[in-house]
Structures are given as structure tokens and as C-alpha cells.
Structure 1
Amino acid sequence: MDLAAIGLFHLASRRMDYLGARHQVIAENVANANSPGYRAKDLKGFDFQSAMQSAAVRPSLTDPAHLAGLREARDFKEDRQAAAYEMAPDGNGVVLEEQMMKAAEVRQAYDLAAGLFQKHVGMLRQAFTGR
């Protein structure tokens, strides 16, 4: 059985991919905290709530003239215009406290998505085995 064919597993997988990419960008920000002129970056492009709503109801095409109804998946986009709350005299816009808060937020969201994934695997296992 291909778990990626089940909407919730596909959605959780995409969410974890996005969070992994966002964590990498945050790590780059922290690594460049002392680089003159470096500005903090962040990722945009994944709205979990709207993705959940669109995954909840999937229209079926019963006629070739019907419209598809689901949008194509978009890649994540880097937001190079992240708001700089503080600016060092050398032009560096990385605030370590802000980056650490974002990293903690990413960790919590990743744990939630991984937990959902594991719970649904357990539900499927129980449905198949009866235990």
C-alpha cells in the first residue's frame, strides 16, 4: 500500500518537507549572524490550514467536461524581504533570539506533523490486523 496516495499522509509529508527546508534557512541565518550586510531570510509558501481544508474534500470527475478543482502543488519560496527588527552597525539583520524562537516553532510544528503521521499509521495497522 502506498501511503503517499492517502491525502493525510501526503499532506503531513509535504509539511515536514517544508519545515525541514525552513529549519535549514534558519540555520543559515544563525551561521551568518556575524556576516556584515547579511539579512535574515525565511520561507513562505505552505499554508497548513488551507491545505488541510483542500485535502478534506476531493471532488470526483464524473464527466470529462468537469473542472479539476485542486490546485497544483507549489514549491516553497524564499522570502528575501523578511522584516528586520534590529540592524547592526555593519548592516547585519540577524537577531539570534528571533531565529531561536523560529527554530523552536519549527520544531513544535514538525513534532505535530510527525505525531499525526504516526497516529494514522497506528490506526491503519489496527484496521488491517484487528489489534
Structure 2
Amino acid sequence: MTDGKVATPPKYNINTWINLTTLVSIIAGGGYAWAQTNSDIDELKRWRVAVEGRLGNADGKIEERFKVNEVELRKLDNLSYRVTVAEQSATSISQAIKELQITASGQSGDLRVMREILQRIEAAQKQR
């Protein structure tokens, strides 16, 4: 007949159930955390691409502004040179005008003397 051993179902105590529940929870939580991390990484990659695109456009605009500013600065340098040349020309012209005034004043005096001489000559001729 039978040996006297009756098959009894295995008994699981509460600690076994707690450990199994904890293990399943840890695995599920790890999977969830992994999925969230991958999702966050993908979102950050998309954000980075968008920001780099905007910064690339901004850098291009800044470079264009620098080029325009350099052209304007060259114009200002040229203008500064032109103003300096114009000032030097004005100084030269002013000096020439002063010299001309001095010469004209001297000639005016000479003309007076010549007129007086001519008047004396005419007077002497009339008296003769």
C-alpha cells in the first residue's frame, strides 16, 4: 500500500509572499524607470537639436551683423580720413587767403603811392 507518506502541499509562509511581491515590484519599477529614462533622453535629444538649430541661426545672424558693422566701420575710417584731409585743406586755404590779404594790403599801399606820384606828375605837367 502506501508508505505512510502523504503528499502534502508545500506551505508558503508570509515572508515568501512578501519577498516575491517585493521582487516583482522591483523588477516592474526598474522597467518603468528604464522606460522613463529613455523617454527623457529622447526628449532631451530633440530639445538639443531644436536649440542647436536656433543657435545656429542666431550665430549666422550675428556673423552677418558683424560683417555689416565691419563695412560700416571701414566707411567711418574712410570718413575720418576724408575729414582730416578736408581740415588740412581748409587750413591751407585759410593760410593762402591770409597771405593773399597781406599781399593785397601791400599792393593797396603801393597803388596809393603810385597814384600820388601820378597826381604829382600830372600836376607838374599842367603847370608847364
TM, length-normalised to structure 2? 0.29
Greater RCO, CA 8 A, separation 6+: 1
Structure with max Cα Rg: 2
Greater fraction of residues in helix: 2
